Amino acid sequence: METSNGSASSSAPSNEAPSGDFKLKFCTVCASNQNRSMEAHLRLSEAQYPVISFGTGSLVRLPGPTISQPNVYEFNKTSYDTMFKELESKDPRLYRANGLLNMLDRNRHVKSGPERWQNWQPGLPRLDHASDKGSEGCEGGVVDIVITCEERCWDAVIDDLHNRGAPLNKPVHVINVDIKDNHEEASVGGRGIVDLAKSLNAAAAEERGKMGPALFDQGGSSARSSFDERVPDVLAEWQEKWPNLPATWTLAWF
């Protein structure tokens, strides 16, 4: 064991190489799984991270002709493609002008339809989502990091995890990145999330690259860090860079 450890570490003196292809698994969450979470989903998948996404709302709500006439769809039932076609047939000029068609067009090329967080059972294999962007690595149906895009989505996620009672015994970092629900902010937020993901992944890869026994001695916890402990550091650092995307974090359980 010593030798194999040694050889591995000698071939990779730094922490990058052996865990270069190590990827944290992400999950993005917003209210309707349309704008913010999907923007982040796309960007994270483009950055080669395993990623899935959800919405915490009770229904998928998209703006309609007036504020009191939203287009409402059910989660896990209506695909982005169906929504796209429906809105296009309803009023192509309006929905082109407010960016909905553009958004739905993007979404339908990312995955099939909006999924509701509360209906998701973590740990259940997601082999049937193989065609989704970022699905590679998420087959097991669990993630390391959940990123919500709004405080109440974060609240909903945490409340839901409480309800589930943590049957999987798997820790998960739940981070909220507050993003206003419009296309422009979603784009900015998406970049911020990818930046955060990269920082987190770099820290995780670095910690993973550190081989060898966990120290049980007195030096203990302060003597060496771990990825989990570094999350707040990464987040704080990131927050300095992205002061307009206020963040909240906790460590919860699947």
- Residue 58 within binding range of another protein, rule CB under 8 A: yes
Among 48, 77, 162, 244, which residue interacts with another protein (rule: CB under 8 A)? 162
CB of 248 to another protein, least distance (A): 6
Which residues ranging from 63 to 102 are in contact with another protein (CB under 8 A)? 63-64, 67, 70, 97-99
d(CA 234, CA 250): 13
Which residue among 198, 206, 229, 242 contacts another protein (CB under 8 A)? 229
| Short-list 61, 43, 63, CA closest to 188 | 43
Residue 249 β-bridge partners: 175
CB of 108 to another protein, least distance (A): 17
Q: Which of residues 103-142 bind another protein (CB under 8 A)?
A: 121-125, 127, 139-140, 142
Q: Coil, helix or strand for 228?
A: helix
CA 13, CA 189: separation in Å to the nearest integer? Answer: 35
- Tell me if 60 sits within 8 A of 35, measured CB to CB: no
Site for another protein in 13-42 (CB under 8 A): 18, 31-32, 34-35
Does the footprint of another protein cover residue 242 (CB under 8 A)? no
Torsion angle defined by CA atoms of residues 50, 56, 57 and 63, in that order, rounded to the nearest 10 degrees: -30
Which of these ranges, 52-60, 84-92, 107-115, 189-197, lies near another protein under the rule CB under 8 A? 52-60
